[in-house]
Structure 1
Amino acid sequence: MNEDYAHLLPIDLKFDFALLGRAVKAEMARRGLTLRDVQTQARVSRASVSRITTNLQIKMVPVLRLCIWLDVNPFEFVRPMGEVPREKVFHGNTPLKPSENTQENLEAAE
């Protein structure tokens, strides 16, 4: 383990599968894609795409492939245990990426 960064991660982390699922669903809606389209483009099984879009857990390799497909950092979906994500919504139903939400908040603070 890289001791330079290991101390920055708390012990009680969990991956927020529901947040990833909402991001996948939003991207599918934005681009007008089906489960099969995402399966082909992200190279994950249709079952994994279906499971994540219904807020169920999937294995980490499909998670990483979906993060690559979404062009997001997987650490954006890691939360301390018990923390509720505070994502903003624009255009009525599309969640912002956590990085966009953070950037917007930083700009508002200036």
Structure 2
Amino acid sequence: MAPKRRISWQQEGVDKTFLEACVHELIQHGREGSSLKQVSWKNVAEKLKKEHNFIADQRQTKNRYDYVKGKFAAWTKLKNKTGNVYDPSINTFNLTGDEWQIEMKVCVRAIS
């Protein structure tokens, strides 16, 4: 059996299509635990293939879902942190280098 090829999610528009398809599937079919249902993963993969000729299997799409979900959770936690660290006018955080190092350590532990 040949090893699975590593895919790159950097192709323009793929992440947007992926997230829109995931939201659509959540609305249409709901969740299975903290993830999408098996039929939904197939639908997401078909949409990626149809719109971008991007081929990903269920494991690859679920891994991407978990990765993006973890990043969003870390961003939301930091955005909602007291102390006005988020500036919506420039869509960035006002943290010193030391504060960023602390946040990065916390986020890495949370995602891992």
- Could you say which structure has the greater relative contact order, defined with CA pairs below 8 angstroms and 6 or more residues apart? 1
More helix by share: 2
Q: Which has the larger radius of gyration?
A: 2
Q: Above 0.5 in TM-score?
A: no
Per the normalisation by structure 2, the TM-score is 0.26
Per the normalisation by structure 1, the TM-score is 0.26
